Structures are given as structure tokens and as C-alpha cells.
Structure 1
Amino acid sequence: MDMATTESTASTMSLASVTLEVADPEATHRFLTAFGVETYVRLRASQAPSTGFRGFTLALTVSRPATVDGFLDAAVNAGATVLKAAAKTLWGYGGVVQAPDGTIWKVATSAKKDTGPATREIDEVVLLLGVEDMKAGKQFYVDRGLPVAKSFGGKYTEFAAGDSSPVKLALYKRRGLAKDVGVPAEGAGSHRIVLGSTAESFTDPDGFAWEASTSSARP
């Protein structure tokens, strides 16, 4: 893997919100509350056709394995399906679940041993968008003023978080992202997600829609 690089540019846009488009907002809100992530995403009713991998995942970083287990257990108890059972990895410890609305959530920690009891604290939430062409996708966002925080060659790009959203934005090669969460990379139809922009509305090269952050959606 290439060494990580750090870049910066004058910021003219940032990620202001993440809106999931779901068939049943009330039921999804109940799930998110039980899971413990209801403050990180908004909801909007949608019946847009979507099959297979939707091209994105949401990842929670927490402090220790016991906390990973706590979040994953809460998700499963609320109706989520396990895609990858929690286990030690080269990078730490984590697992993946799919919510009843179809959204894929990963919960992980860099720690491999517990140094204390489980908590319900989330250190970081990252939205990972699967892209076909990392170079083109990265340049598209850099041109709109998003500063790059980390970049690993053509595999992964993470942008610096703005003050307006608790969620970080990152790009990941689509097939690599699908493999990481344990699903086939193929998918069609709506991504079932809309991103709030502090600037103008647009659609990126991989079909992810952004809209002005003044648009309303349920928290």
C-alpha cells in the first residue's frame, strides 16, 4: 500500500448532513434509536427501486471491543442482520450489520483488547462512498473545495470534517468496500442516500446526489 499523504485546500464546501431514503421512516427511526445512531442521520420516505449493494456504508469507530459488541448486539436485537460477525482483524476488532432499511453499518475499534467496560460512546462516524475511479472521484471533490485529510493511493481518500456535520466523508474503491463489508459489489437503482452540501446541489461521478443543506428532512 502506498504511504498516506496529507493534502489541504481552501474549503468552499463541506458535508452538512446525511439523509437515508427509506420505505418506513418511523420504523427506521426506532431502529436507529435502539442502535444508538439516531443523531447522525436524517430520514426521508422513498420507494425508489434499489437492488444489491447501494454503494455506500456507514462506519462507527469506538474505543474497545466490548463497545463494538454492545453496538452490534443492540443493532441485531433491533432487527439488523449480521453480515460479518465481530472478530479480530489485522487492524483491530469489528463487525458489520445490515439494518432493516438496507443500510450497511460497520462498527470497529483499533484496540484488540478491552481496557475497560463497554460504553455507548462513538468516537467517529465515517460515510464511505464506493467509487469506480478513485482519481476522478477524489479530484471531483477537491475541485469543490473539500480538503483531503488522508489518501492511500487509488484505494482510499478521507476528507477533513467540517464543523457542520458529525459525519466524515471518505471514498473507497467500490469493489473493495463491498468486500470489506461482506456483500457482492453488484447493485442497481437508487443509492437511497442524499448528502447535504453547504454549497450548491450536484451529483458526483458515481451517482451520489448532493443538495443544498437548507432542504428539510427528519432528524
Structure 2
Amino acid sequence: MNSIDAVILEVADLAAATRFYSAVLGPDSPYLRLRASGDPTTGFRGFSLSLVVSQPGNADALIKAALDAGATSLKPASKSLWGYGGVVQAPDGTILKVATSAKKDTAPVTRDFDEFVLLLGVEDVKATKQFYADRGLSVGRSFGGKYVEFAADPGHVKLALYKRRALAKDVGVSAEGTGSHRIVLSGAAGPCNDLDDFAWEAGAGSSLAATA
């Protein structure tokens, strides 16, 4: 299957972003790379990053690390029908959700996470699902025109699609926004731009530390 090798975030302050994401994800994260960019952007950029963890304590530990490194809380961590989680916004504007389906801790607390998921907020979930299926991505789960999750190779970023307004509501921000997404996807589907102008480039392995 085709996978996302890494998410490339375009940031105005490369040094500050490197410090933040190194503090939260570790300096050698294979999932995230950073690139300097001054492209104008306002409001919601149409995506969020999600860390799926095994228990609430791990979610709390990652959220605390993000807040200590300068993030802003959008949704404080809390219990819900589906589990436990919270949402923060990084200093560069990227929205980061940390969540688990577990209701209680069953192991020592760590800052480990099980999945790194990129959620794209799109106008037409069905059409975008077909766009990516045509480029070799395998659908893992699909709920009509509301949500699609693609399968991912181990150690790669998982891609999911959500209606733009539904995603904005889920992370606690207004859906309005203009300008650059400030994100590029690195993987086998590239180079291309999808129906919502999210850009892909050909995959090339690199770590967060190597780009700073």
C-alpha cells in the first residue's frame, strides 16, 4: 500500500518549531519534518495531527509536555463517550489532538503513542477518498461521506479524511481560514495536489533532527 512517509510542516520560525516538536515528540521523530516558510495563512488550515495513545495517563503526559513547551489549550483533556483526550495548538499554529479509547490507566504512564494520524478537513469526503484510492492508498475504514481512514504501513503516518467543518468543530476552532495549509505530505502518492490543494511530494526518509 502507499503510505505517508512523513508530514512536513512549514513554519515561520524553524528554530522555535524544532524546539517545540522535539520536546513533545522527541528529537528523532520519523513522522514529522519541518521546513521554513513565510506563505500567508489565516485561521483554520484545514488539518490536525492526532496522537493515539493507549491510556489516559499517556494523553495527560503528552498534553502537559506540549503546554510546557508553549502550546495553547483548545480543549482541556476530559472523558467522553468514546474515551479520553484533549486538543492543543502549537506555537506555529498546528492543531494537535491526543486521544485514547481507554477509560483508565492499566500500565505505567509514558509519553509513548501508538499511532500518528493526519486528519485532513475536506469539502467532499467521497471524492477525496476516490482520489487517494486511485493513487494506491488502501481504505481501512469508511463511513460514507463523513469519515474515511486509510490503512498505513507500520511506522508510517496514517491518513484520515473528515468534513472540514466537522473537523474544525472536533478540535474546537472556527472552520474559517484562507491561504496556505502550511503542510506538505511526503510519500509514494506524490508529487500531486489533491482536491483541497493539499500538496504531496515524493517520499524521502528523514528525521526531525535532520531537518533542523
SS of 2:142 mapped into structure 1: strand
Which position in structure 1 is the counterpart of 2:95?
A: 104
Q: 1:218 aligns to what?
A: 211
Gaps of 5+ in 1: 1-10
1:174 has 2:167 as partner = no
- Give the CA deviation at 1:14: 2.7
- For 1:100, give the aligned amino acid: P
1:36 lines up with 2:30 in the alignment: no
Residues 13, 36 of structure 2: 8 Å contact kept = yes
- Could you tell me how far apart the structure 2 residues matched to 1:31 and 1:43 are? 11
Q: Which residue of 1 aligns with 2:182?
A: 192
Show the counterpart of 1:20: 9
Matched with 1:60 is 51
1:80 Cα deviation (Å)?
A: 0.1
In structure 1, C-alpha distance between the alignment counterparts of 2:168 and 2:18, rounded to whole Å: 25
Separation in 2 of the partners of 1:199 and 1:143?
A: 9
**2 CA distance for matches of 1:113 and 1:198?**
38
Structure 1 residue identity aligned to 2:193: T
Q: What RMSD, in angstroms, separates the aligned Cα atoms of the two structures?
A: 1.6
Q: Is 1:204 paired with 2:194?
A: yes
Runs of 4 or more consecutive aligned structure 1 residues displaced over 6 Å after TM superposition: none
How much has 1:167 moved relative to structure 2? 1.1
5+ residue gaps, structure 2, are none
Q: Which amino acid aligns with 1:63?
A: S
Q: Tell me which amino acid in the other structure corresponds to 2:47.
A: F
In the TM superposition, what is the alpha-carbon distance from 1:152 to its structure 2 partner? 1.1
TM-score, length-normalised on structure 1?
A: 0.90
Aligned with residue 144 of structure 1, among 109, 132, 135: 135
Q: CA deviation at 1:215?
A: 9.1
| Counterpart for residue 111 of structure 2 | 120
Who is 2:81 aligned against? 90
Post-superposition CA distance 1:115-151 (Å, at most 9, x none): 2331121111100001100111101101111110110
Q: Is residue 183 from structure 1 mapped to residue 173 from structure 2 by the alignment?
A: yes
Amino acid at match of 1:204: D
Contact 2:86–2:97 under 8 Å retained in 1: yes
Give, as a single letter, the amino acid of the residue that structure 1 aligns with 2:19: R
